[in-house]
Amino acid sequence: MPYRLSPFSASSLLASACLATLLAGCHTVTPAPISAPAVRVPASMPAGCAPPAWPSGEKRRGAQGRVTLHFTVQADGKVSEAAVIRSSGYPALDEAARDALAKCVFQPETLDGKPVTSKVIMPYQWSNE
Average pLDDT, whole number, for the chain?
Answer: 81
| Band of pLDDT at residue 39, cut at 50, 70 and 90 | confident
Sign (positive/negative) of CA torsion 16, 17, 21, 22? Answer: negative
Mean pLDDT of 5-11: 52
The number of C-alpha atoms within 13 Å of 44 and in the hemisphere containing its C-beta is 7
- Give residue 57's pLDDT band: very low, low, confident or very high (50, 70, 90): very high
Please tell me the predicted confidence (pLDDT) of residue 45. Answer: 77
Instruction: Give the separation between CA 79 and CA 76, rounded to whole angstroms.
Output: 9
Quote the pLDDT of residue 22: 47
Residue 21 confidence class, pLDDT cut points 50, 70, 90: low
**DSSP 8-state code for residue 48:** T
55 contacts 101 by C-beta, under 8 angstroms? no
CATH dotted code for 40-49+66-126: 3.30.2420
